[in-house]
Amino acid sequence: MDVKTLCLGALTERDLTGYEIKQHFEEAYSHFFVAGYGSIYPALADLTRRGLVCCTSVPQEKRPDKKVYSLTKTGRDALIAELMATPPRHKVRSEFLVLMVFAHLLPPEKVAEIAEAMVAQWDALLTSIDQCMSEDQGCFSPGMRFAIGYGKTVVGAARSYVDDNKEQLIATIQEETASDEAAD
């Protein structure tokens, strides 16, 4: 599964431009999938070439044309086939946790700064998840609600864990730093 699949998925709800698909990624999918213009536009071009979406140029006043994409029947079938064939994976790559693992090699103030920055990032993410949830006027799919609930729960748990345990970690490495210096 790649960005193409997500583009097809986004188009099941309604027709969208590439730009709007990017927004969609940032709003609704941000806590579990990221994609930038550099992936989305080439994906859309490829999907058009393969007939899975079709593209209509809509002239606009005072703006260049926009390209509105819509899902074809073939595209819908391809999406379902792709979903049926996708094994459920969930990958995390956390440079933050790597930094924490080697916290004892860093100045304690730096560790505190890193932990606070991470908590702030998660707070921002939680705010955007809440906002997303409040925009649901019965129009979200049940799965979308499930994913939003997941985000609130799991990102919330991560945020709290770090917030609750960072002081302890910093205190421990501070002790170690002190005893290392005494040993010199």
Q: Which residues bind DNA (CB under 7 A)?
A: 2-3, 17-20, 23, 34-39, 41-45, 60, 62-64, 66-67
Choose between 56 and 150: whose C-beta lies nearer to a second copy: 150
Q: Give the tokens for residue 9.
A: 């998925």
Contact of 129 with 31, CB cutoff 8 Å: yes
Report d(CA 61, CA 65) in Å as an integer. Answer: 9
DSSP bridge partners of 56: 68
Task: Pick one of DNA, a second copy, none as the site partner of residue 37 (Cβ within 5 to 8 A by kind).
Answer: DNA
Choose between 21 and 108: whose C-beta lies nearer to DNA: 21
Nearest in space to 53 (alpha carbons), one of 17, 26, 25: 17
Q: Taking CB under 8 A as the rule, does residue 74 contact a second copy? A: no
Q: Taking CB under 8 A as the rule, does residue 80 contact a second copy? A: yes
| Secondary structure (3-state) at 17 | strand
Nearest in space to 10 (alpha carbons), one of 83, 89, 69, 87: 69
Q: Which stretch binds a second copy (CB under 8 A): 41-49, 56-64, 89-97, 126-134?
A: 89-97
Contact with a second copy (CB under 8 A) among 121, 127, 130, 180 = 121
Q: Taking CB under 8 A as the rule, does residue 91 contact a second copy? A: yes
